Structure 1
Amino acid sequence: MAAFVESVVTKAGLETLDIDEVLLVGGSSNIPKLASNIQFIFPESTVVQAPSLDSKLDNPNELTSKGAALQASMIESFDAEEIAESLQPVVVNTFHVVKPIGIKNSDGEFVQIISRETAYPIRKTITLEASADNILIELYEGKRTIKETVIEAEKYSDDEDSEEEEPEIVKELKYIPGELLGQLAVRGAGKGNKVEVIVNITRDGKLQITARSGAVVVKGEVQSA
């Protein structure tokens, strides 16, 4: 089972660390061992939805039919022409950002504003506190890294001959500042004042950034290479 699940994730071009939630459907979803095995495959941050883990969940045998019914209810008010238009490639093949976009804070850490796989056009805002009268805002693509934390196994006996368990390695998906996309200097922001940073991606893929602090407004556009 583990090999099959991991192969499905790999075929999708992802890793188990990329999965936020797993929903089990069908009769086998009621098997406690299946749910626990899938929990073991994914990191602790991934939510596994299964009846054996949460008795308040809907009957897994009915989820497929419920999903079909919900979809049908959403489109039943549209006529055939409107449905055909909604299936055009320009609608179905939505453009999206491949990597997250964000800024670097004073500690050098990546602060995400737009997450990966976000469809555009999109407009996101983040509010910062100015650390000086004049500040430089740097816009980055996030670079994916895997942080590994080693958790030493507990020793249950003082006997020197007792076998020690292998330490556990916990993997965590983390983004750091990658490629620098652009810089925006905000002069006269005022130390301690709030600075609103707005990142906008237009329908044709233009990346725009705006910084606003009181009456001070600075705008810029990232030119594609």
Structure 2
Amino acid sequence: MITVIFRQFCTADKEISYLLADAVTRQAALIDANVLAVKEYLETIENMDLTLLYVMETHAHESHRSASALLRKQLDTQLVAHKAAQLDCTDLAVGDEDCVFIGEECTRVIATPGHSRCSLCFHWRDRVFTGHTLLAGKSGLCQREDSEPADMLKSIQKKLLTLPDETLIYPGRINENRCVSSIAQERTDNADVKTDMTKEMFIQHKRQEAINKDTWQQDFLFANQRCNY
């Protein structure tokens, strides 16, 4: 008997969002909803007879326009985010080790500052949704004003790579055509967090990446924080 419903949505901007649902109660949540996929979300929710309880944000996004505020209004759902995200329309502010219940199951919140001060990961069953903290084969960028490379390294090493080997990683962005990984694979293959990568080396690497910061990202961040759509 199928007790879990799961869908991954990859959009043209290389961002990834996710639909989770309990097959018994038909209660659902969307993680990192993107305006480019709204039609797909609505069709999937209707076709599968789901009730969307939550739109959940791994952080206040600077790389794309979020659809969370739109879906919150259109479907009368609740928006879940870290309080530091400073989203005007947050209904449920969460922090480390909180639970967001979809059906009768807890989706565990893991605070993972680094990419942003408000970065979260969501641990559900055998998978973790890592936003822009940990991608498949790479760590996320640290190019925001509230980015902190040292915190990112700590978040990845202490909060994520300590999960069981078989835990699946579902990131918020495609990296080199990869949109899924595992904790075991990242421990072995991720050059950004390899065992001989010192804190100083990681910080230097992330700061070098940040030199190519795109100015339009601030516009997306402001619009998402104001819940514009």
TM-score range, shorter chain: under 0.3
Of Structure 1 and Structure 2, the greater strand share is in 1
TM-score by length of 1: 0.23
Of Structure 1 and Structure 2, the greater helix share is in 2
Q: Give the structure with higher Rg (CA).
A: 1
**Larger relative CO (CA 8 A, sep 6+): 1 or 2?**
2
